[in-house]
Amino acid sequence: MKIALIGNQNSGKTTLFNLLTGSNQKIGNWPGVTIERKVGMIRGTNHELVDLPGIYSLSPYTSEEEISRKFVFEEHPDIIINIIDATSIERSLYLTTQLLELDTKVIIALNMTDILEKKGLHIEIDKLRQELDADIIPISALKRTGIKELIERIKTNAVQSNQNQMIFQPEVEKAIATIEQTLNGGHRRFIAIKLLEHDPLFLTLHQPFIDDLANKLELFFATDMEELIASGRYQYITSMKKRTVTHHPPIIDVTDRLDKVFLNKWLALPIFAVIMFLVYYLAVGTVGRFTVEGINSLVSSFGTWVRSGLISLNASAWSASLVSDGIIAGVGAVLNFVPQLIILFLCISILEATGYMSRIAFFLDRIFKRFGLSGKSLIPFIVGTGCSVPGIMATRTIEDPEERRMSIMLTPFIPCSAKLPIIVLFASYFFPKHSGVVSVSLYFLAIIVILFSALVMKKFFFKGKPSPYISELPEYKVPSPRYILRDVGEKTWEFVKKAGTIILLSSVIIWFFLSFSWTFQYGVDVEESILASIGRLFSWVLYPMIGEMSWGATVSAIQGLVAKEQVVSSMAVIAGLSEEVASGSGIFNAQIFSFFTPISAYSYMIFNLFSAPCFGAIAAMRRELGSRKRVWIAVSFQTGLAWVIASLFFGIGTLIGGIFG
């Protein structure tokens, strides 16, 4: 059987999906975490469960909501599990009334029953079951109650369908019945209502007499069909709610109290700045220096140890060099940064789970609106601090296509976790006392770059009207430690896996091009290597921002296309191979990178952070933008802008340095 999981945004669909299938999909406390459908097998059965993006109605507004609606009509699920947030039952049942009009079997999973009491709500479930004439199973996805009953019900397939309750005014019901009689196939009641509402998706089924029916009703009720149907549903729900739900609101609402601080007129922005500062300060400033110095020497002594081991085993010089100078140096350089990334992932995961992220979107909306964006663009940006790819995908929650395109092009400007190694490497060496401040400054620079770019794009490419911003404000939640640990573990593992695959392969390739000359002679000086000669072709590009014709810095920056952390890895391999003795004292002690000054280090960071993202992110942009031309525009724009800002910084920085130095 094929089973669809459908419900409002932020109603706990994915949490339930993970429970039912035993998988570990991303959850979060903001509307619109699930942007693609996800498929899994329900534990102990061979039934397929599909987790769909949250919707409030079967008339969707955004591309990701469209996925849910299409699934229902085109893939004909056998059962729909309609998950409902019991604490906002009135709004949730609006979707339910529509689902119950389909011919599909529907089970209502009444979620969050564990916190009903805390919110002063009481629902008489038996009565509600009777009134709706539908199957209801109370559950708590968080406390894991009611799940067994739900699986049991799916297994036995004892579910009602097609209740066809008459919920509208008699005149409306009569019109629906008239249209129904002319229809063939499934979902007749549902389609009849949609035809009355003039839904664009069912225009092919339209017949002239439907207009007459609609016109008469509109005259009679002095309103239009859309409002008539929507009010009809809500009136039915309110009267049912009066009979089944009692509400005694608690005196102290924790969420309201917290919002008095976090959404305070004067405190909100400073608190936000402090939180973002802390995230980067913790990740880079505190753990940063310790790990770079500590583990760097560990890795290089490990490399030396392996090399001497290999040589004592009579391994050839080139193979010993491949392993220690290529693989261990390259992969090790990236693995150095795992501790920082764990801290970063932990902070972001907590931010996402508590519900603070929706607040950030809420209070920055006004500023973002000025630049043609909305608060909703902020969610891709914050997700993008982990990785641009899910960040770019998170733009699907944005309704307006132009605003969405802009957000897709802007998300890669956010320093993702793979860029963190670059920041930490340079910041901790050149600004040892202020590495935290320096990395935070890059983050704020990213925000300025984003707003500036948005302004430019709005001026030249996109000239749309602002789209509406309608979003739920979720309650604050204490994040579940189990989930946070799993989330952080998974992201960290992804990073390590990447180091063991892409970075490893790239390191081997880099080692090869560094160790051989064009005549395939092994063991040449790196300056005579293939890589050096390739790099020299392009080193003029970076000259204006580092003040040096450096092929090493150039080829490393280009490798950022593979993965941003590859920049660090490449520099480590180049530095290691260029020195006669493996001194173990870091990349910048190598002759080849000794030209870097604090100013050129900062400009080089700027270029690497804001230029074209890695291939993974470019591919995601291609998918979401749907046009190769737009991707070219975006990538050229990003790289061009990065070059200009980096060169400007270097030029001005050197000038000021010259005056005061």
Amino acid at 639: T
**Residue 472 interacting with other proteins (CB under 8 A):** yes
User: Which range touches other proteins (CB under 8 A), out of 89-97, 288-296, 380-388, 524-532?
Assistant: 89-97
Task: Report the candidate in 11, 1, 63, 58 with the shortest Cα–Cα distance to residue 37.
Answer: 63
**Contact string (CB under 8 A) for other proteins, positions 263-292, x = contact:** xxxxxxx-----------------------
Question: β-strand 79-85 against 105-111: which pairing, if any?
Answer: parallel
**Residue 362 interacting with other proteins (CB under 8 A):** yes
**C-beta closer to other proteins: residue 232 or 552:** 232
Task: Report the candidate in 568, 566, 597, 592 with the shortest Cα–Cα distance to residue 579.
Answer: 592
Q: How far is the CB of 327 from other proteins (least distance, A)?
A: 51
**Residue 242 interacting with other proteins (CB under 8 A):** no
**C-beta closer to other proteins: residue 246 or 636:** 246
**Residue 470 interacting with other proteins (CB under 8 A):** yes
Instruction: Name the one residue in this structure whose structure tokens are 């060099």.
Output: 321
Q: How far is the CB of 362 from other proteins (least distance, A)?
A: 5
Q: Please give the size of the binding site for other proteins, defined by CB under 8 A.
A: 42
**C-beta closer to other proteins: residue 265 or 629:** 265
Give the Cα separation of 530 and 528 in Å (integer).
7
Of 125, 151, 201, 230, the one binding other proteins (CB under 8 A) is 230
**Residue 369 interacting with other proteins (CB under 8 A):** yes
Task: Report the candidate in 126, 7, 558 with the shortest Cα–Cα distance to residue 574.
Answer: 558
Q: How far is the CB of 558 from other proteins (least distance, A)?
A: 42
Q: How far is the CB of 7 from other proteins (least distance, A)?
A: 14
Of 45, 63, 87, 178, the one binding other proteins (CB under 8 A) is 87
**Residue 223 interacting with other proteins (CB under 8 A):** yes
Question: β-strand 2-7 against 79-85: which pairing, if any?
Answer: parallel
What does DSSP assign to residue 58? S
Task: Report the candidate in 582, 584, 588, 570 with the shortest Cα–Cα distance to residue 330.
Answer: 570
**Contact string (CB under 8 A) for other proteins, positions 553-572, x = contact:** --------------------
Provide Rg for the chain, Cα atoms: 29
**Residue 246 interacting with other proteins (CB under 8 A):** no
**Residue 367 interacting with other proteins (CB under 8 A):** yes
Residue 223, both tokens? 């309103």
Per DSSP, the three-state class of 59 is coil
**Residue 66 interacting with other proteins (CB under 8 A):** no
**Residue 254 interacting with other proteins (CB under 8 A):** no
Window 309-338: residues binding other proteins (CB under 8 A): none
Give the Cα separation of 164 and 228 in Å (integer).
18
**C-beta closer to other proteins: residue 203 or 656:** 203
**Residue 202 interacting with other proteins (CB under 8 A):** no
Beta-carbon contacts of 150 under 8 Å, excluding residues fewer than 6 positions away, are: 20, 81, 107, 109, 137, 139
**C-beta closer to other proteins: residue 40 or 375:** 375
Angle at 164 between CA 161 and CA 169, to 5 degrees: 160
User: Which range touches other proteins (CB under 8 A), out of 150-158, 173-181, 187-195, 226-234?
Assistant: 226-234
Of 61, 302, 318, 543, the one binding other proteins (CB under 8 A) is 61
Beta-carbon contacts of 245 under 8 Å, excluding residues fewer than 6 positions away, are: 89, 121, 122, 123, 124
**Residue 231 interacting with other proteins (CB under 8 A):** yes
Instruction: Establish how many alpha carbons lie within 13 A of residue 401's alpha carbon, considering only the half-sphere containing its beta carbon.
Output: 4
**Residue 259 interacting with other proteins (CB under 8 A):** yes
Q: How far is the CB of 199 from other proteins (least distance, A)?
A: 10
Residue 153 in contact with residue 123, Cβ under 8 Å? no
Residue 242, both tokens? 């009066």
**C-beta closer to other proteins: residue 82 or 324:** 82
Of 247, 257, 459, 623, the one binding other proteins (CB under 8 A) is 247
**C-beta closer to other proteins: residue 94 or 318:** 94
**C-beta closer to other proteins: residue 39 or 273:** 273
β-pair partners for 138? 110
Q: Which contacts of 644-648 are long-range, i.e. CB under 8 A and separated by 24 or more positions?
A: 645/449, 645/606, 645/610, 646/544, 646/545, 646/603, 646/604, 646/606, 646/607, 646/610, 647/544, 647/545, 647/603
Residue 373 in contact with residue 407, Cβ under 8 Å? yes
**Residue 375 interacting with other proteins (CB under 8 A):** yes
Task: Supply the DSSP string of 148-174, one letter for each residue.
Answer: HHHHHHHHHT---B------S-HHHHH
**C-beta closer to other proteins: residue 382 or 409:** 382
Q: How far is the CB of 165 from other proteins (least distance, A)?
A: 19
Of 25, 45, 63, 88, the one binding other proteins (CB under 8 A) is 88
User: Which range touches other proteins (CB under 8 A), out of 224-232, 413-421, 514-522, 588-596?
Assistant: 224-232
Give the Cα separation of 481 and 487 in Å (integer).
10
Of 23, 25, 45, 59, the one binding other proteins (CB under 8 A) is 59
SS3 for 284-337 is HHHHHHHHHHHHHHHHHHHHHHHHHHHHHCCCCHHHHHHHHHHHHHHHHHHHCC
Site residues (vs other proteins, CB under 8 A): 56-57, 59, 61, 87-91, 94, 223-224, 226-227, 230-231, 234, 238, 247, 256, 259, 263-269, 362-363, 365-367, 369, 375, 466, 468-473
